[in-house]
Structure 1
Amino acid sequence: MPVTTVNAPGPALRGLLEDDALALAEHVGRAEEELAGLPRPGLRDEDLRQFAASLVDSCRRARTAFLHRHAPAVYDALTDRRRKPLRLAGLARAAAERFPGLVPTDDQMTEEATRAQADKEGREIDQGIFFRALLTDPSVGEHLLDSMLAPTPRALDLLSDFRAAGRVDLGSVLVERREDVAHLTVNNQHCLNAEDNRLIDDLETAVDLVLLDDQISVGVVRGGVMTHPRYAGRRVFCAGINLKDLHAGRISFVDFLLRRELGCLNKLMHGVLVDAAPDAYPQRTLHKPWLAAVDSFAIGGGMQLLLVFDHVIAADDAFLRLPAAQEGIVPGLGNFRLSRMTGARLARRVILGGRRIRATDPEAALVCDEVVAPEAMDAAVEKAARELAAPAVVANRMMLNLADESRDGLRRYLAEFALVQARRLYAADVMAKVGRFSAPAARQSADGEHAP
């Protein structure tokens, strides 16, 4: 078994970007050659698994050291000194081309996408290292946050038609303007509105359209009526991350787990960027109030969504839960936001212990503003939307959110989240758990995070 790459020290970094980039590329290239000679992960015995882990670890330490020295210069090279804003996927692609060995190439990620999660090389961890370094730097992180707050190209392409028609079906999200209220209906029918790559794309596009349409004053998000046998004819808010897709390797770290937080949820909380100029007048971002209507349950990512809404109405037979720790992953920004609402002790019971909060529990009042009978939901939503349309609501909710969640605190959390979540995706306990949860006989067979 070759040992030169494993036992050799990392590349000698001397502080010059191009020289250090070349040294990194050579080090990673040697390791990749040895890795390519091994069986795929699922076919390796214990000795080969340890050898492959040593190869990969050597490269990750080298990437971390390189980025510790050069993250701002790397970012400037990729964005033409920050004159060319790039979203997450564009940054990863540009980095692979400009700095070989720093992040996975498109071909490597395409190959990974053909494999189940447990049979991947874990190249998304290398993306986590990259984005952690960028977000750790205050100036770079601020610029990247702005880039992710800008409207998506897809939303800009659809905006004129949406303004004219007042309706667009994005696939898993239906957006309808009724007078000055936008109703976003989540229709990911096959999995009880569990979150997958498509839903994250559709939801961010929908949020952009609502924020950019000047005929809309308020946005409402509600789950659609299900066709799934267990909930046929009933509305469901969200069953959390689609564990079946996670087990099959179809949940993207960049396009789902990071994009969700820096894009869709960040826009719900802090608005959409319409003018990147630091001296923009009257402001750089557009804001609108948001209302969530929770039918049946808000599990995992569904409960995380509630933490960025201005008003939450729940049916009295609904419940809330954040079971990510039981799956072994991090519940997005739930750790960052929940304790502000519930206090630290309850937040720990919910996140670390999987505490379920029923809408009728006293603790539900810390997350939900109203709890009504299921048959009263429509009227409650209409009434609350009218109240949120009051002229001063936009300015005050913007200032409340700024007071609750500083950009610097958000950036620092996201930096650590980028790497921690990437590593958890490939942890042995997570692989075992999602495999069990995705089995046909699993109790949560709805595909989401422990959907009942």
Structure 2
Amino acid sequence: MSAGVPSGVSLDPVPEPICGIETDARRLAEYIAGTERQLAALPPAPDRAPHDRDRAVAVHARARRARRVFLARHTETVYGMLTDGLARTVRLADLVYEAADRFPGLVPTRAQMAAERRFVQAEKEGREIDQGIFCGAVLRSPTAGRHLVETMLTPTPRALTLLDGFRTEGRIELDTVYLERRGVAGHIEFRNAGRLNAEDDRLITDLETAVDLVLLDEAVKVGVLRGGTVDHPKYRGRRVFSAGVNLTDLRDGRISFIEFLLGRELGYVNKMLRGLRTAPSPGDWCERSVGKPWIGAVDTFAIGGGMQLLLVLDHVIAEENAYISLPAAEEGIVPGLGNLRLTRLTGARLARQVVLGGRRIAATEPEARYVCDAVVPAEDMDGAVDRAVEALRAPAVSANRHMLTVAEEPLDLYRAYLAEFAVVQAERTYAPDVLAKVERRWQERERRRAARGSVR
């Protein structure tokens, strides 16, 4: 037994991929099946003693090493087989689960992920890390990664189903989002009222649908994002832009890696920045896509993921008492693509103060001008939005914003960042410090809730 390896953990050598894809895939499947037997011999994750947890960590580490070694040689072949030689577009979630079926052991199966969802984050096996390793490898490939990015820029089936109704009625109400066409503007309002418009899996799905509809409706020339009124005792009846990721859902294991943490960046956020891919045929991007300018109206605050959204918008209006922040240091996770985009707007020093030091920027501070274009009294917000819509509706705006994106964030730069993000973010969501922080926040919230109940 080598030093540092818990007793009872096999040290069978990781299979080196030295043959063809089929043979190497079979050898990987056999190896991973062995690691799964070792995990199954341990108590369930919530019941493991410290020495059992150490064994599980060692087993997972060996399995992940085997997956990385396999992907280092075969990523483009795997992706080609899953997409029929890049002829078929497969959205991210389907891609991951098709890979699980076609290459056993490479990524978790649907059944394994369903079993994970029964537990809070701290009691899971951490199989989303394995999804992150696979997605990172795909995105790291210039060929496969670009194909996946472009696939995720296509309209969702749900949006295509709802499009005719939206064109006719000019409005649509989803579970957590309300979309209405007013003149030439498509107004998207966040309505996750009980959670300070925080992002969760439902809101992410609804937002992508709404963004698709804004981009597909020819009568809409400009998109507008704004938070609706909320029910939180401290802010009841006030508009709030966004409280970022719902940390309670993260603690409870309900924030998914594929659909939320990675799918958000590849989905509606990237669609707002780059536009919607509407034609599969080769050609210039402008000939097979539709992009429109976006306005953000920030009431009260834009925290975390809310502030990240501002970094891809073309015009941001903040209410004079609002503030913005990226509390990555407090939460312990990576703030999406904020680390890539914030530096471009603010410069490196201020970006580090915000991301690493947790600096909160009030709308009235001079530094807010790097993110916000206008700061107005609350009563003038509607008028400021209307004026911005009028200024951005000109046909030349879409063409020029596309060229600004090409210059500022080339697709390959975005892809390379996202490849690293996929792995780092998956690991951070299971890091002990993150789990401890979200547990403390959850306990504090429960104590406050109990205190309010006792007063009543």
Question: In which range does the TM-score fall when normalised by the shorter chain?
Answer: over 0.9
Q: Name the structure 1 match of 2:123.
A: 119
Q: Name the structure 2 match of 1:291.
A: 295
CA-to-aligned-CA distance 1:19-55 (integer Å, 9 cap, x gap): 1101100000011011012112222112111111111
Does the alignment pair 1:263 with 2:261?
no
Write the distance in 1 (CA, Å) between the matches of 2:17 and 2:294: 49
Give, in angstroms, the shift of residue 226 of structure 1. Answer: 1.5
Map 1:118-137 to 2 at 5 A: 118-137=122-141
Q: Name the structure 2 match of 1:339.
A: 343
Of residues 310, 320, 327, the one that matches 1:316 is: 320
Give, in angstroms, the shift of residue 437 of structure 1. Answer: 1.3
Of residues 151, 154, 164, the one that matches 1:150 is: 154
Structure 2 residue matching 1:55: 3-state secondary structure: helix
Q: Name the structure 1 match of 2:196.
A: 192
Q: Name the structure 1 match of 2:434.
A: 430
| 8 Å Cα contact 2:16-2:70 kept in structure 1 | no
Of residues 8, 15, 25, the one that matches 1:11 is: 15
Write the distance in 2 (CA, Å) between the matches of 1:199 and 1:212: 20
Structure 1 residue matching 2:114: 3-state secondary structure: helix
| Aligned residue type for 2:140 | T
Q: Name the structure 1 match of 2:241.
A: 237
Map 1:61-210 to 2 at 5 A: 61-210=65-214
CA-to-aligned-CA distance 1:225-280 (integer Å, 9 cap, x gap): 12222111110000010000000000000000001101111000000000122226
| Aligned residue type for 1:198 | R
Cα gap change, 1:282/1:328 in structure 2, threshold over 3 Å: closer, same or farther? closer
| Aligned residue type for 2:42 | L
Write the distance in 1 (CA, Å) between the matches of 2:99 and 2:7: 29
CA-to-aligned-CA distance 1:48-91 (integer Å, 9 cap, x gap): 11111111100000000000000000001111111111111000
| 8 Å Cα contact 1:146-1:276 kept in structure 2 | no
Write the distance in 2 (CA, Å) between the matches of 1:282 and 1:12: 44
Structure 1 residue matching 2:10: 3-state secondary structure: helix
Does the alignment pair 1:214 with 2:212?
no
Does the alignment pair 1:367 with 2:399?
no
Of residues 405, 426, 443, the one that matches 1:439 is: 443
Cα gap change, 1:106/1:310 in structure 2, threshold over 3 Å: closer, same or farther? same
Write the distance in 2 (CA, Å) between the matches of 1:51 and 1:225: 48
Write the distance in 1 (CA, Å) between the matches of 2:388 and 2:311: 17
| Aligned residue type for 1:102 | L
Q: Name the structure 1 match of 2:45.
A: 41
| Aligned residue type for 1:347 | A
Structure 2 residue matching 1:6: 3-state secondary structure: coil
Q: Name the structure 2 match of 1:380.
A: 384
Cα gap change, 1:114/1:281 in structure 2, threshold over 3 Å: closer, same or farther? closer
| 8 Å Cα contact 1:6-1:58 kept in structure 2 | no
Cα gap change, 1:151/1:367 in structure 2, threshold over 3 Å: closer, same or farther? same
Structure 2 residue matching 1:229: 3-state secondary structure: coil
Write the distance in 2 (CA, Å) between the matches of 1:269 and 1:282: 13
| 8 Å Cα contact 1:15-1:69 kept in structure 2 | no
Structure 1 residue matching 2:231: 3-state secondary structure: coil
Q: Name the structure 1 match of 2:24.
A: 20
Write the distance in 1 (CA, Å) between the matches of 2:59 and 2:68: 15
Structure 1 residue matching 2:87: 3-state secondary structure: coil
| 8 Å Cα contact 2:9-2:55 kept in structure 1 | no
| Aligned residue type for 2:29 | A
Give, in angstroms, the shift of residue 282 of structure 1. Answer: 5.4
Write the distance in 1 (CA, Å) between the matches of 2:267 and 2:141: 19
Structure 1 residue matching 2:316: 3-state secondary structure: strand
CA-to-aligned-CA distance 1:268-324 (integer Å, 9 cap, x gap): 000000012222685121000000000000000000000000000000000000002
Write the distance in 1 (CA, Å) between the matches of 2:444 and 2:157: 38
Structure 2 residue matching 1:392: 3-state secondary structure: helix
- Structure 2's unaligned 5+ residue stretches are 450-456
Q: Percent identity?
A: 56
Superposition TM-score, scaled by structure 2 size:
0.95
| Aligned residue type for 1:82 | L
Of residues 231, 252, 255, the one that matches 1:251 is: 255
Write the distance in 1 (CA, Å) between the matches of 2:195 and 2:244: 10
Q: CA RMSD in A?
A: 1.5
Write the distance in 1 (CA, Å) between the matches of 2:422 and 2:271: 18
| 8 Å Cα contact 1:96-1:105 kept in structure 2 | yes
CA-to-aligned-CA distance 1:431-451 (integer Å, 9 cap, x gap): 000111122547998xxxxxx
| Aligned residue type for 2:295 | L
| Aligned residue type for 1:218 | V
| Aligned residue type for 1:288 | K
CA-to-aligned-CA distance 1:97-133 (integer Å, 9 cap, x gap): 0000000000000000110000000000000000010
Write the distance in 1 (CA, Å) between the matches of 2:273 and 2:194: 28
Of residues 396, 400, 405, the one that matches 2:400 is: 396
Superposition TM-score, scaled by structure 1 size:
0.96
Q: Name the structure 2 match of 1:325.
A: 329
| 8 Å Cα contact 2:16-2:69 kept in structure 1 | no
Write the distance in 1 (CA, Å) between the matches of 2:70 and 2:402: 38
CA-to-aligned-CA distance 1:144-188 (integer Å, 9 cap, x gap): 000000000110110111111111111111000011111101000
How many residue pairs get matched? 445
Q: Name the structure 2 match of 1:449.
A: none
